């Protein structure tokens, strides 16, 4: 889809990307992660904190995934309450 402004172009879904596009994307992602890891290492960020920050950034960029995970956690909490008898089963 051609538009006047590059930021208004609709992104292709991963399933629609060709193999070459996926390889290029993976390479770009690898480079960015390597840069972030190097920076974190230089500043003494613990590996667990780096991984947590990366996960948080991913969730921030994927609000639908964050919402889905919250829904799963909520339902797991409800199920736990039901299993312990603190919430009636409908």
Query: Mean of the pLDDT values across residues 21-48?
Result: 96
Q: Give the closest residue to 70 by CA, choosing from 78, 45, 84, 30.
A: 78
Alpha-helical regions (H) of 1-90: 19-42, 47-61, 63-83
The band of 88, judged by pLDDT with boundaries at 50, 70 and 90, is confident
Report if pTM > 0.75. Answer: no
Q: What is the tens place of the pLDDT at every residue in 44-75?
A: 999 999 999 999 999 999 999 999 999 999 99
**pLDDT at 1 (0 to 100):** 44
Question: Is the pLDDT at 76 greater than 50, yes or no?
Answer: yes
């Amino acid at each position: 889809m051609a538009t006047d402004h590059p930021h208004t172009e609709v992104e292709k879904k991963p399933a629609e990307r060709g193999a070459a596009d996926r390889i290029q994307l993976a390479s770009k992602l690898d480079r960015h992660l390597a840069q972030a890891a190097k920076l974190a290492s230089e500043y003494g960020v613990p590996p667990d904190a780096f991984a947590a920050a990366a996960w948080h950034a991913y969730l921030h960029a994927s609000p639908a995934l964050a919402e889905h995970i919250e829904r799963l956690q909520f339902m797991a909490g409800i199920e736990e309450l039901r299993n312990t008898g603190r919430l009636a089963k409908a």
